[in-house]
Amino acid sequence: MEKYILLVEDNPDDEILAIRALRKNHIVNRVEVARDGAEALDFLFRRGTHAGRPGNLPEVVLLDLKLPKLHGLEVLQRIRAEEATRLLPVVVLTTSSEDRDLVESYRLGANSYIRKPVDFDQFMEAVRQLGMYWLILNHSANGVGAHA
């Protein structure tokens, strides 16, 4: 099945830049975008507008924290609460420099945390490492998720 990424991001600029960063780092996988927390959950659990969506779970979820409707941390909590998505890799992606967000993210089971710096070059570098890590090296978590 086709490997793809779910990007949960409400800011269209950030969306474009994130996808650009991925592409620039030769991550050519399809990127699905959810514009708020509720939509992200609908997508993952194939509900609402995404009911009957074909296909598997994404390889990784890039989750912004400050989201309309449902906060990113709440989304993370729901993902970890469901058996189907309990092991789904989630990378928290946020502008927030608040320590408590970082602590709370890890507490709720985020696999990684990337701060979105103002400097795009730094962001590019972070995304590059992330993409390499999750799409090329990390097979096992993905595999377990796929067969579950």
Partner 1 sequence: MAEAPTENAKRPAVSRPAWWSSPGFVAWALWGSIGAVVMGLAAYSGAKAFVARRADDNIRHVLLTHRGLHHYIQRVMHPAYFAAREKGMVSPDWYSPMVLSSSYIVRNMHGFYNQERVKDGHVEIYYKMATDNPRNPVNKATPLESGLLRKFNEQRGLREYRETVEIEGKPFLLHAMPFLETNGACLRCHGRREDAPPGLQALYPGEGGFNERAGVIRAVEIIRAPLSPERFTVAILTASAMGGLLGLAGLLAFNVRLRRLVEARTSSLREEVLHRAQVEREVLQLNATLEGRVRERTAQLQAAIQELDAFAYSVSHDLRAPLRAMDGFSSALEEDWAPALGEEGKEFLRRIRKSCSRMGDLIEDLLRLSRFTRQEMDPKDLDLSALAREVAEELRSGSPERRVVFEIEEGLAARGDESLVRALLGNLLGNAFKFTAKVPEARIEVGKTSWQGRATFFVRDNGVGFDMAYKDKLFGAFQRLHSAEDFPGTGIGLATVLRIVQRHGGTVDAASVPGRGATFYFTL
In the complex, which residues of this chain contact partner 1 (CB under 8 A)?
11, 13-14, 16-17, 20, 66, 94-98, 116-121, 123-124
Beta carbon of residue 29, minimum distance to partner 1 (angstroms, whole number): 20
Beta carbon of residue 34, minimum distance to partner 1 (angstroms, whole number): 17
Closer residue to partner 1, CB minimum distance, 96 or 138: 96
Beta carbon of residue 10, minimum distance to partner 1 (angstroms, whole number): 10
Closer residue to partner 1, CB minimum distance, 82 or 98: 98
Beta carbon of residue 51, minimum distance to partner 1 (angstroms, whole number): 31
Residue 91 to residue 110: CA distance in whole angstroms: 6
- Supply the DSSP string of the chain, one letter for each residue: ---EEEEE-S-HHHHHHHHHHHHHTT--SEEEEESSHHHHHHHHHT-GGGTT--S---SEEEEESS-SSS-HHHHHHHHHHSTTTTT--EEEEES---HHHHHHHHHTT-SEEEE--SSHHHHHHHHHHHHIIIIII--HHHHHHHH-
Residue 122 to residue 49: CA distance in whole angstroms: 35
Closer residue to partner 1, CB minimum distance, 103 or 146: 103
Beta carbon of residue 4, minimum distance to partner 1 (angstroms, whole number): 22
Closer residue to partner 1, CB minimum distance, 109 or 117: 117
Closer residue to partner 1, CB minimum distance, 18 or 57: 18
